[in-house]
Structure 1
Amino acid sequence: MTAHRVTAPVPPADGSKPKGPASYFPSIETTYGRPVQEWLDLVAEQLDDHPHMQVVTWLKTEHGLGHGHANALVAYAKQALAR
């Protein structure tokens, strides 16, 4: 597994809705039955060797994610890894 880890966001304490890519995360968990943290771990590992759209395509073809969900996971992970 990758040496770096992208941590799934904690839902806002004030009950507000998450913004940006994280706004997709509740739907991703419901739709695909796996915690977002598992998806982010897979994505971070893939981003070590592959560009954004290749990882999106991989999520779609190998795991059956829709484009918006796959893109949200990759965008969130890339942003977190850039920090």
Structure 2
Amino acid sequence: MAEPQETKVQGPASYFPSMEKKYGKPIGEWQQLVRERRAAEPDAKHMALVSWLKSEHGMGHGHANALVAHVLAED
């Protein structure tokens, strides 16, 4: 019988382990920050949220983009 293969995380979530290491917060906290920002500014578009993460939290573009894409897809 073949051994079960690990499911490799793909898409935006594949960035999460490196984001936690680089920025020092669990991914759940970052997701909550994005959700709070969306609640405060319901008309904020994807790129506005990415720009906010970059300018206010020093996040790189790829990480910010992945986080916002994941949160928007979940919500």
> How would you bin the TM-score normalised by the shorter chain?
0.7 to 0.9
Gaps of 5+ in 1: 1-13
Q: Considering fraction of residues, name the structure with more helix.
A: 2
Is 2:14 aligned against 1:19?
A: no
Give TM-score, length-normalised by structure 1.
Answer: 0.76
Residue aligning to 1:74:
68
Matched residue count: 68
> Hey, what's the Cα distance between the residues in 1 that align with 2:61 and 2:7?
25
Give TM-score, length-normalised by structure 2.
Answer: 0.84
Larger radius of gyration between Structure 1 and Structure 2:
2
RMSD, matched Cα:
1.1
Identical pairs, percent: 54
> Hey, what's the Cα distance between the residues in 1 that align with 2:19 and 2:8?
15
Gaps of 5+ in 2: none
> Hey, what's the Cα distance between the residues in 2 that align with 1:23 and 1:65?
16
Q: Which residue identity is paired with 1:75? A: A
Runs of 4+ aligned structure 1 residues displaced above 4 Å come to none
Q: Which residue identity is paired with 2:8? A: K
